[in-house]
Structure 1
Amino acid sequence: MIEVLVVVGPGVVADAGLLEEIAAREFAAAGVSGALVHARDASHVLSLLSSPSPSSPSPSPSSSSPPNGAGCVVVLPGPSAEVRSLIRRDLGAVVWVDVERADGVTAGEGATHLHGRGIGGLAWGIRHAVHRVRHPSRRIAYGPLPEQWGELYLPDADEPPVVMLIHGGYWRSIWAADIMGPLCADLVGRGLAVWNLEYRRPDLHGWDATTADVAAGLTVLATASEVRGLAVLATASGSDALPPGADRRPGTVAALDLARVAVVGHSAGAQLALRAVADAAAGEVNAASGVGVVMAVSLAGVLDLVEGDRRWVGTGAVGAALGGRAPGLGEGRAAPPYADASPLLRLPLRVRQLIVQGAADDLDLIDFSRRYARAAERAGDDVTYLEMPGDHFDVINPATPIWQATAEAIAHVLPPPQGDKTDNN
């Protein structure tokens, strides 16, 4: 059984009993064993990270191996400068969780830093740590900056089609690619390759950086010579062997059917997904000619940015992301960046679309999805509208009927190759 060690650093401002409750609940939900330990100082944290199991720590600070070799280590570092200095060190697959917002933190090789999600960030950290052990992937940088990367998951199949995932979070840096992990596992189980994209968010880097990163993420698989190591990807089982039929020549993509790609976004990520597809269809992303996008999927998307800003969705998230307010009522047509960014204003996309919406979601998002689907149909696009019971996060929960229906629709458009050996159970 997977073992999870949660380390609470000195000075963490949180009720100890509540931390225990959160950890116990997540251990039970994930079907893992675990322990939560309160560390005295940085040396104690380091010794815990080096111990062979959560229950038997040994003081071996020179070792960077996680407990039991499983990589399931979650640390709430707290304010101590000595403990925080460990975040930058290469200590293995540690998931560092700051309950407060902590911008600009770069974790060591193989580690992850989550922040700004409050005390609930511990739950997200445990889920992510367990996911990484159960579903290995290969992280690939598509640019020089810390947030310019994606994780590629490969099924046991020869040349599978690809699903590119773009996470949401109202374009704010406290939300990251980890929230899409469960979908990665589900889609790989259906015989599909998954490219889970991280990108610079506009709250720290500006809107142009965000759109540039998403465009790069869409095209990078067609320009593999720019991505070191892309031709020797790990399989979903964690092996370094290439999948059957993979091209072993340097500078080429291993075992991916780039003629069949779906771009899927959640919430604000749906806006980014549909905007990137619109740019590619309009020829504004030149390198995208090597990637055949055959489907765009919105999961509870923010699809009308003009009304989104006017209605102050996400407590002003739209205007904050785009760097200014939308035109008011009676002020005329929207100009850039709204005219370029709002999916409703970019129709037709000329790509098959699936618009998914939970009936218990924010009423404005339901309104945006319904109006967008009708407008896309009027514009001549091939669009399917799927509204089912569920809230904003049910659409990215593999256990829900709304996601199951979504995944089946994606797999229908992107059937896995003949002879796929992947087990969907």
Structure 2
Amino acid sequence: MIYETVIAPTERVPTSLELKRALLTFDRVVLFDPDDRDFFPPQAFMIAMGMPPLLGINTGPVKPLGKAPGYDDAFQQILDEFSVAGRQGLVDVISSYDRSSSNSATIGAVQMGGYPLNPRFLLWAFRNIARDEDVVSIALEGDNWLFSLPKEVVQELAVQSAADGGINADPAIAPIQRPLNREGLREEYSRIGRARIASAMKTIGFCASRSMVPFFGQASTGNIANRIASRATSVMDKVTEFDPFWATRSQVMRIGHSEYIDETVLAAMPVDQVLKMRTRAWGHQAAARDEMLQSIAAISAEIGDRADFQEQAQVSISAYRKEAEELQRERANLRFQIKCEVAKAVALSGSGGGAEMTGLVSQLQSGIGAAATLVAGCLYAIDKIKDYRPVSQHLKAAENEFRDKAGFGLHNFYEEVRQANQG
């Protein structure tokens, strides 16, 4: 089985190169509808605050992602460019919920329009991680496009929304305090960074509910996903001291999978030529990759000893590498290379294969599932945990909620090595 992917949205439309990357890796590529920008349905905000699910009313934006000028036209242009893939059902556009459900108030129940995630969990997990200065800062880090925009465009992207404000006794989320080149836009940039965090959380959770894999093609979303995974692993490593159940489960977070490619060749390649590269060898490699990661996840649930886990995981990795050899030969013109190993630490972005390499693919997959990863990575701050026993119970409950076969796949495909090697 080869999984489908959802490209994590940003303020800008995904590039042609991003879609080509995804088509060379996944069976089907899905984009969120241009108007599907909010964190969760706005009529669910009151129940997210903790009120009974008796009244559903659109109270305004929850935490939407802004749109760059000309977004809708650019979105249609990218669909037109990939129309041949669209006609084959390989590129599609969906919504995370029926947005018409937000148009009218309901009494006695809250209509979610088929939205698959728990809004209360999302809201409070977001409010916790959005107070982490490091996470908000990394969501903005190195974004020359964002920091070069005119003031009025930045203000338009920084949508004011309910998830940032005070809720009952919980105060509003403060802007980041680190130095900025444009001090007069501190509040706006902080809102944008937090919106990117909310969007990444939504994409991860939605993919888990649909047994899909999130695709993080931009540095900002990849950085956020990486940090969520890193935070989750830190929490799980501490929980292991109190509950050995997590001893090997957390080790799956350290499976590093990287693929390298020459982006300049791929960028120049027409879409129909890219589709011709989805060969039998590619199908075998992609299926073997996903089977390898699933088998390692299963091993982590069965083996409690870390040394035994690493030994068994290495057997699966060796078998996968052999299966991937044919694809590496077939894609020699793209200088395609694969690296897979049990790393010592969580690292979404792999190391470069030399100065001549212009593209990188990295994957980190956890056998614990996306729900547990979101709980550990977003809901808790490790320096504030006093008792790890309830944390372990919450993680187990989250793991049982989503038994997604895809697990938690974090992909930052064919990112430039220059970006991948930044600290």
Using the size of structure 2 for normalisation, the TM-score is 0.25
Q: As a proportion of its length, which structure holds more strand?
A: 1
Q: As a proportion of its length, which structure holds more helix?
A: 2
Using the size of structure 1 for normalisation, the TM-score is 0.25
